[in-house]
Every structure is written in C-alpha cells, then in structure tokens.
Amino acid sequence: MGTNYYFKKNICEHCQREEKEFHIGKSSGGWTFHFRGYRGEWSDIGEEILSLEDWINYIKKTPGKIFNEYGEETSLEELLELIESKREAKFHHVDLALRAAHGDEEARKIMGPDWMDERCWRENAKNHWMDNEGHGFTDWEFS
C-alpha cells in the first residue's frame, strides 16, 4: 500500500479546480520514494523533469500546490522530509528494475509478473533511471 503525490498547477481561488495535475511520485512501505519523470514525448508538463532537483525547481516557480491522493495538501518541505526519510528503505524500484533487466531472477520475482517475460523487462527497463542523487524515476504513469 502506498500514497501518491500530485502537483496541481494553477488552482482557481474561487472553485479550487486546477488547470492541470501532474503525478510527482509514490511513497510505499518498505520502498524508497519513486518519482514520475517527464521526458521526451512523455513530457506533457511543459519541460523535462529528470531529477528531484528538477521537481523542486518546477514546483517553486509554478503556481500550484502539492496534494496526496486523499486530497490532503502538503508543503514542499514536508514532501522533501518524507522523501529523505525513505532514502534507506529496503527496496528501490529502479535498482530492482535494472537488476531484473540484467537477468537477476530474485529482482524479477520482487518486481512481479511483468518482469518475468524477457520481452517485457527489456522494454520496461528503458523507462527507468536514477538521478545524480540516486532517486528512482519512471517516465510512464503508475499508481
């Protein structure tokens, strides 16, 4: 079980509707925080988001607010504290994805059935990366 976090851009002060909502990432028990990245053809955010630093810069310069999937607002500082608190978690999504793509059977089992078929894991691994600080990113939507 986990909690997804979103950035809601340009929220109307009257009706509280956002212009656009972007998935920041997910916090799950036992796992490092996993980020949604935006790059190339997948980048509907208006710029590439390839690192935690990119997310921080985007959030600071763009009018909007951070919410979890339950509609609870959180500050950037609170989200960064959560992310930092999960740095040493047992499982790291991208580390396991890359290990699975290189034949690690245990990593494939942990990642699940989509990672057991060679056709799937070779394609899936292309969409995962780590930023310079070791934070994991995926450039497709997940929940």
CB atoms within 10 A of CB 78: 11
Indicate the residue type of 100. A
pLDDT in tens, 111-120: 776 666 666 6
Question: 122 pLDDT band (50/70/90 cuts)?
Answer: low
| φ/ψ (deg, to 5) at 107 | -65, -40
Report whether pLDDT(77) > 80.
yes
Q: What proportion of the chain, given as a percentage, has pLDDT over 70?
A: 90
Long-range contacts of 120-123 (CB under 8 A, 24+ apart): 121/97
Report whether pLDDT(70) > 70.
yes
Confidence (pTM) = 0.87
Q: How far apart are the first and last CA of the chain?
A: 10
3-state SS class at 84: helix
CB atoms within 10 A of CB 97: 24
pLDDT in tens, 14-68: 888 878 889 999 999 999 999 999 987 657 788 899 999 999 999 999 999 999 9
Question: Whole-number mean pLDDT of the chain?
Answer: 87
